[in-house]
Amino acid sequence: MTCYRNHQTLFGLCLLLFLFTSPLLATENQTDQECFESRDGMSQVRVREISPGLVNVKCSSTTGGVLWWGDPFAGTIPMGDMDIEADYSNEEAVVKPREPELDKNKMLTICSMACHDGNYVPIPHSKTPRPLKMHLDTVPDAMNLKHGKGNIWCLDCHHLVERTKLIDNFGYSISFNQPQKLCGKCHGQVYRAWRDGLHGKRIGMWDKGGKKRWWVCTECHNPHDVEQKERNSGFAQLRPEPAPNLPKGMVNADHERMHHGAHPDETGHE
């Protein structure tokens, strides 16, 4: 009897040790990962611990996309004023700032200080399209820009002097954190639908005064390639998650491919 009780005690201690250490080990392994929120290569998130045993995001092992947010408002900032007044009285609109993501390789810093400061590369005073010698990774064929079908050019969106800013119709600068102000110049209908919550993605609180995170245009769409080749769609097609496991005992899902009710041939009607 004494030996049996000793085994029970030892088993209990081992179980407690496993339950205590396994989340910590799992968190330590996850923090080595990087996944994307909406576009692979453009909205990367490195997994980090925001509190003991809790990570900021959980990545899909299949697609690399974010499956779950530990804190959906981590790193967000207020959206700021909009060009057209909207009703935010029931929520606090926040966005994930784009500039830190764009400047992670110091590109914005380099653009403003080393290249497009008007000295190293003179500021162009013409909007006439021309082949680009740089930025071919972003725009492979500048004379066949995959946005606007030949009706727009780089300087219709990027500020002529401040290359770390976008530009509106009146020549005023727009922060990269508020690309919706730029996109709304041409896509007013979509912009209004996005503002009203009919287009795009939001997560957060439903209660009055609660935070709501808004995804801005360039988090889902690639502004330099909205055609996506023959798909001609502004949204990049993502690899879907695998189908869920079948219930125990079910060998396939053929029943889901069958028509419900009697087959038209059996009823004599088409």
Give 10-residue mean pLDDT values along the chain (270 residues). 53 50 50 85 87 90 90 85 56 86 81 77 82 88 89 90 90 92 93 90 83 91 87 80 86 78 51
Cα–Cα nearest to 216, from 254, 178, 263, 165: 178
Q: Which two tokens stand for residue 133?
A: 């010698």
Contacts of 10 (CB under 8 A, 6+ apart): none
End-to-end Cα separation, the chain, in angstroms:
76
Q: What pLDDT score does 186 carry?
A: 93
